[in-house]
Homo-oligomer: A and B are copies of this chain.
Amino acid sequence: MKPLILITNDDGFAARGLRALDEIAMEFGDVVVMAPEQNSSGKSHSITTGRPLRVREIKQDDGLAVYACDGTPVDCVKLASEYFCPRKPDLVLSGINHGSNSSINVLYSGTMGAVIEATALGFNAIGFSLLNHNPEADFEPSRHIVRHLIAQVLTHGLPPDISLNVNIPRLEQHQIKGIRICHEAKAQWNDSFEKRIDPQGRPYWWLTGKFVCNDPPETSDEWALANGYVSVVPIHPDFTHYPAIAQLQHLEVL
């Protein structure tokens, strides 16, 4: 039986990056797409519990079913894998995101929320992001990278509880130097809210921010991307900082 690949994203079901990804995935197997109706960037790992979910069938072709869901990317993974896939998916893909999900951005990313959820549910999963926010971004130079990583993971699998956060620099194919397995660079968003006054005289605040990553080490994703490499970060759905457990024993003394 052909592999079954489930695809989602956070830019919404109509995004070009999603279409690029489902075209590549169809070379490998049957594809089910369930993606948010609307842009869900910044939705992180959020789930919808206060209201039910609606689903709209967009396309039902041979080997490709596409659904739009009014929930979050994580909702899409949960609902599609449970209810809309004809069998359990062999691989869950998310993206190709329009914009970076490197470093600390993985925390906010709906694209990567979906990937982490897929891992928590026991599926192999990869998130792809291109460092280009433009809705008209060109995904052609990303295709051979995406194809390579899908083939590798379908063939060899991934270590237990591990998924991949793949970021692709905004370069022509011949300019991409290769792939580097990295860790997340330590970085920060320096937020500054822009206060404005509405026509009724009441204030409101827009979130703005500047991504700051000083001197990232050569082993990090930010270094790789700044130097023409695709970054692949193995991630896992456990926030525990294990070395700190021994450092914090004094807290046990009440």
The CA-CA distance from A112 to B44 in the complex, in Å, is 12
Interface string of A31-66 (1 = CB under 8 A from B): 000000001011111111110111100000000000
Partner of A244, one of B159, B237, B251: B159
Asked if residues B45 and A49 are in contact (CB atoms below 8 Å), the reply is no
Asked if residues B78 and A249 are in contact (CB atoms below 8 Å), the reply is no
Instruction: Specify which chain B residues have a CB less than 8 angstroms from the CB of A205 in the assembled complex.
Output: 52-55, 79, 83
The CA-CA distance from A75 to B44 in the complex, in Å, is 13
Q: What is the oligomeric copy number?
A: 2
Instruction: Specify which chain B residues have a CB less than 8 angstroms from the CB of A180 in the assembled complex.
Output: 252
Shortest beta-carbon distance from A194 to chain B in Å:
8
Chain A: interface size category:
35 or more
- Whether a CB of chain B sits under 8 angstroms from the CB of A148 is yes
If the complex has contacts A107-B45, A113-B44, are A181 and B245 also in contact, measured as CB distance less than 8 A?
A: yes
Asked if residues A46 and B47 are in contact (CB atoms below 8 Å), the reply is no
Shortest beta-carbon distance from A153 to chain B in Å:
8
Interface residues in chain A, defined as those with a beta carbon under 8 Å from any beta carbon in chain B:
39, 41-50, 52-55, 74-75, 78-79, 82-83, 104, 106-108, 110, 112-113, 116-117, 120-122, 144-145, 148-149, 152, 156, 158-159, 161-162, 164-165, 178-184, 186, 188-189, 191-193, 195-196, 202-207, 219, 232-242, 244-245, 247-252, 254
